[in-house]
Structure 1
Amino acid sequence: MHKPDRADEKDLESYAKAYLKKYKEVVEDNSLLLQGLEHVFFKYNNNPKAVYGVISKNHGAAIVFKYNSTEEAYWNYRLIDEPIEYYFWPNMSSDLSNLKIVKIARPRASSEFPYVLNSQISIKNSALLLVNEKASLYYAGEGESPFKIEGPGAIVILGESFSKSGLIIKGTNTKQAWSIYQAGLDALKHFFWDCGNRLNETTIKQIEAKHKVPLLLDKITENLKNKYYKDHPEEFYNDLHELEQLGLSEEMKTSIWSEYLELKREPTLWEKIVDFISQRVSEIIVAVIAGIIVGYILHAYTH
């Protein structure tokens, strides 16, 4: 049975399209600032011939952009039972209990900066490489995969792992992590990573004000609408704080707070009664309509 909060094929396909669209949009929008840097934007300079989406039923999901295919561009999707890591590294050790853990964590608590790998890592000697929750690993080396397993070893991705060419692995399979707004936020984040330290702080803030603010507003609007924030208040506070850091107006802040407080408000007894009656009336109307249709069909066949 499909879990309601788990992303599906449509979510991953929409994510992939939105990701590439936003990445190219940001590069083109800042072309005057990026003169001489065009070569660092692999995903802008190359069009994928194939896009693969993979969702694990229990841990993680991934997008793979393939650039070396000789076939026409197409979309391919798989739903797997095993954790997402086994799709990419099937020779991983099945028993992780005896492996020595090597952790990759965020450089600092509130940082979006990744841990950067410039060359592929060979995992052996009973090592378990653990990408911590909220940590990002960015592979800027050649090829698609940042890891190669040559002996007893494994990789567990609780955070996320990205490559310059287009491998996106996340340790979560939720709709929020693979939404259209998150695709835009990821694309913007990866654009900055590809720039390295070539942009100054003022330029970064200007780009964020134009591209990140609308994406965060989309995120907040969507998560208020689907009531996601009701059970995840810490994410609401984090998203609102980030918007404030980017210059959110007091008027917009007040409006967002009002919607959030309305979401958190418990319905009154009268509202519960009205809601119950509305549901019952809807059920009765559907039953009556169904009865009329059945009666009409029976009448048509018997006369």
Structure 2
Amino acid sequence: MKVFTDGSKLPDGMAGAGFALYQTGRLCHQSSFSLGPNKEVFDAEAEAALAGIKAAIQAYTARFATDLWVCLDNLEVATRLLSPFTGSSQEVFETFRTLASTWPERERFSYTKEGSVRICWVPGHAKVPGNEEADQAAKRGAASEPPVSPIYSFASLKRRTKAAVTSGLQRHWQAAAPKSYQDLWITSSPRCPDELRLPRHVLARILAARTGHGDFADYHERFNHEDAHLYCRCGARKSPVHFFFCRVAKRRIPRPSGPPSETIPFLLGTPQGAAKLAAWLAETRFFDDICLSRPLLENA
């Protein structure tokens, strides 16, 4: 006897489960049911396996069968069905193991061996007949009427909590981010920024341009740095985005193409842009030969 099981989750967040029970190569029973919006695919796969083994044990033809094969295409669930597990849908896994242990005690003919419950992983979307039937059943279950009071699973709560934290951080960032960061479309992320992989001296230049706190004319004048050098070799005042407009640098190596309104936020506000800007600054030696902290004669 074989029972193919599957879980599904639709784009609208509704989850469902289904199974197809086979014996001697023939479809004996098929079922599907909704789990509502508070379960993940992992939970739906486990629920489907539990429903499938229940149906198999209760089937009259179980007395003819030796082994019960539970076939599913979720490897993580398959490896945990008969093993101790603490995590999402823990109660479902424990109930499955309890039912699996009762399979040898089922009502059967004297010539039928006890057998056991066995787990089999099958590749998904490989046109395995039983698996395809279970897949369609799970999708029908997800599209059906959800339960009145669906219970949250641990996996669902974890996902929702993570989404809520991320959303809250984004709202806080939009309200508290410096205007210079907002102008560059820089967003917050719970992950370590990729820009931190850049050499420290390059990262310092990019952070200075983002914040406006650096070797810039307005910054020096704001804090009355009387000995500061305010001008680039091209004659323009130093500014956070002067690198983009400097005619000396453009003659040496063309800057990244594109309109300033799009290219500057890309170069200063994204990891990919920061990497391109770092390469361009190194090739032009912009801060070493062109936009110096001191005049050339003074440096000499």
TM-score range, shorter chain: under 0.3
For normalisation by structure 2, the TM-score amounts to 0.20
Comparing both structures, which one devotes a greater share of its residues to helix?
Answer: 2
Larger radius of gyration: 2
Comparing both structures, which one devotes a greater share of its residues to strand?
Answer: 1
